């Protein structure tokens, strides 16, 4: 099953009071395994950036002023999301901002039926425990040492690992790719990531090792026959 894990960064806490989404990061998973395909974009919110919000994610109004508005790239985002379930941490917050931006862009809202909230899953699995993304990364041994500030794509990548652990678990670091992926980028620059939007596609030209033979040699078969013949009272000999 295809699922998309996503995270957003915003100018504040409430889209109903004029706060806007300024960044989104999405990670594609199929069968709870990351495919290496992601979507990442910044948006010009056409408003100031409160100091408190900038301290969290490091995105300044000057940096965002050079980025496209959400309505200009909404089609690309919706194409990536498709009809997959959408997984987020405290998902009501992210869905609220995403659907607010879609409404402002004259687009249809994403159905809440597609919402998967990892906070709700974690609350059922670990009642009474801390449920922040940092706390869950610590619980499951997920490396977040590179997380200096919040960033939508980085947090979505961390959440993808947490989501797997919350829903059954697997060895940390297991993935489809052993080598680098092919990357296509839209140039840009900023404090949180080196590009405005990027897509990863798994490389298909990696060298493959030929299967090794596993059949027993004639000498091994003969030793096996001799061993079996030496067993007295064997039920297969009756």
Q: Which residues pair with 117 in a beta bridge?
A: 88
| Among the listed residues 1, 18, 51, 34, the one whose alpha carbon sits nearest the alpha carbon of residue 174 | 34
Angstrom distance (rounded) from CA 158 to CA 147: 9
b (16+ CB within 10 A) / e for 216-230: eeeeeeeeeeeeeee
Angstrom distance (rounded) from CA 190 to CA 187: 11
Q: Are strands 2-10 and 86-88 parallel, antiparallel or unpaired?
A: parallel
Give Cα 200 to chain centroid, integer Å: 12
C-alpha dihedral over 59, 21, 7, 94, to 10 degrees? 140
Q: At what angle do helices 152-166 and 118-125 cross, to 10 degrees?
A: 40
Question: Burial of 204 by CB count in 10 Å (0-12 exposed, 13-18 middle, 19+ buried)?
Answer: exposed
Selected catalytic residue, list 40, 57, 89, 150: 150
What tokens appear for 57 in the block? 């994610």
| Phi, psi torsion values for 86, nearest 5 degrees | -115, 120
Whether 150 is catalytic is yes
Catalytic residues: 150
């Amino acid at each position: 099953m295809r699922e998309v894990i996503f995270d957003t960064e915003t100018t504040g806490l409430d889209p109903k009071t004029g706060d806007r989404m300024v960044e989104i990061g999405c990670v594609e998973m199929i069968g709870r395994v990351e495919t290496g395909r992601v979507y990442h974009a910044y948006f010009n919110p056409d408003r100031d950036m409160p100091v408190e919000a900038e301290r969290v994610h490091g995105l300044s109004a000057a940096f965002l002023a050079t980025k496209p508005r959400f309505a200009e790239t909404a089609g690309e985002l919706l194409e990536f999301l498709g009809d997959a379930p959408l997984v987020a941490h405290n998902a009501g917050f992210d869905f609220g901002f995403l659907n607010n931006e879609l409404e402002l862009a004259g687009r249809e809202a994403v159905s809440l039926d597609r919402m998967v909230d990892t906070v709700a899953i974690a609350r059922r699995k670990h009642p009474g425990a801390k449920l922040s993304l940092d706390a869950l990364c610590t619980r499951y041994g997920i490396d977040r040492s590179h997380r200096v500030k919040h960033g939508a794509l980085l947090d979505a990548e961390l959440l993808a690992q947490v989501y797997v652990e919350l829903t059954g678990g697997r060895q940390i670091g297991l993935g489809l790719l052993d080598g680098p992926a092919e990357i296509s980028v839209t140039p840009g620059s900023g404090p949180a990531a080196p590009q405005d939007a990027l897509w990863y596609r798994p490389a298909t030209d990696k060298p493959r090792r030929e299967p090794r033979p596993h059949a027993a040699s004639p000498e091994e078969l003969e030793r096996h026959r001799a061993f079996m013949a030496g067993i007295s009272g064997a039920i297969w000999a009756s």
